Every structure is written in C-alpha cells, then in structure tokens.
Amino acid sequence: MSKHKTDDILIRQVPILRDFLYHYATYKELIHNENNLSGSKLFWKFTTDAHLLTSVNYWCMVFGSTSNPTHYSKVDFTEEYNYVPFKEYFLEVLNMTHEDYTKYWLKIKGFRDKFSAHREIGYKEPAPYLDIAHKVALHYVSWLEKYITMSSLEMMVEQYQEELQPMIESFKVK
C-alpha cells in the first residue's frame, strides 16, 4: 500500500474519529444530566439515543468491518521505524486478550448491523457500553501520532467538552 493511499484514508478517517469522540462526549454528558434537563423528556431521550447510535456508526466506520474503506487496517505504516501494528498496540495498552476484544467488537458490530444502521426483526440486545470503544479510538489517535503529525483530537475533544458543559447547564431545570 502506498503512502498516498494511507494519506487519502486518513483525510477521511480523522474527521470520522473526531465525530465519534464528539458524539460520544455528548451522549455521556446527556446521560449524566438526563434527570436535570428541562423540557420534554421524550425530546432528550431521542436526542441522547441519536448521539449513541451515531457514535456506534462512526466507530464502526473505522473499527468495524475490514471491508470498510476507512477501516484502521487500511492505514499502512509498516515501513516506519519501530512499527507496531495497531491491534497489537492497543491490546497491550488496554491489557486485553484478542478473544476479549473480539467478543466486545462483535457486540458493537452486531448492534450496528442489526439495530443502529439496519433494523433486524426481533433484535433485542441492549446497546453496548462504549467505554472500551472510546479507549480504542483514543489509543488509535495516539498510535497515529507516533507515525504522523496531526492536530490533537484529544485537545479538540477537551475543548468541545468545555463548550458542551455550559450548553447542557443552560438546559437544566432551574
């Protein structure tokens, strides 16, 4: 795989990662404040659900099916000094086995395939917790930063959270 192809993938992939992190941060903030938000509870339920479903869909664009053109496995840094494959990198950092991650990945991908992006009749599994997905995304950003210079997505997310909190406060019951 040529460097040009990796650059083309990253041009698409980095905004997807950013959007996953933003939607996930919004989802977490809404869940944390769900009992204190003013207005229609139904509105906040649908808004919260939309952020969760969007988070799952964005995460799967990068970490779901390997056939996806923006999948992390399409990014090639094998010729870089001290190259470590991403999956090996994050499994070690998260102290997870390949089997444990595969079980987790199947839950998220299954939820996306059977509920979030499509609706399978009779699908009744709960939404997966995205805490590990969030960590995988952040570690992917750290892994990318070992090989390329890029804007800090972590700083962007922190700035977004700083902007989000006063906004959520303004929606709270006074």
- Residue 37's SS3 state is strand
Residue 65 CA to residue 37 CA, distance in Å, equals: 36
Domain ranges, ordered by start, for the chain: 3-171
Please state, in angstroms and as integers, the Cα–Cα distance from residue 146 to each residue in 10, 29, 113, 140, 167, following that order. 14, 30, 32, 10, 34
**Which amino acid type is present at position 73?**
S
- The average pLDDT across 116-142 equals 95
pLDDT at 160: 85
Q: Is the pLDDT of residue 52 over 90?
A: yes
pLDDT at 171: 86
Q: Is the pLDDT of residue 106 over 60?
A: yes
Q: Token pair of 51, please?
A: 């952020």
Residue 50 CA to residue 39 CA, distance in Å, equals: 17
- The average pLDDT across 94-118 equals 96
Q: Is the pLDDT of residue 3 over 50?
A: no
Residue-wise over 55-79: b if at least 16 C-beta within 10 A, else e?
bbbbbbbbbbeeeeebbbebbebee
Are residues 49 and 120 in contact, defined by beta-carbon separation less than 8 angstroms? no
pLDDT at 152: 72
Burial class from Cβ neighbours inside 10 Å (0-12, 13-18, 19+) for residue 115 reads middle
- The average pLDDT across 64-86 equals 90
Q: Is the pLDDT of residue 18 over 80?
A: yes
- The average pLDDT across 87-110 equals 96
pLDDT band at 117 (very low <50, low <70, confident <90, very high): very high
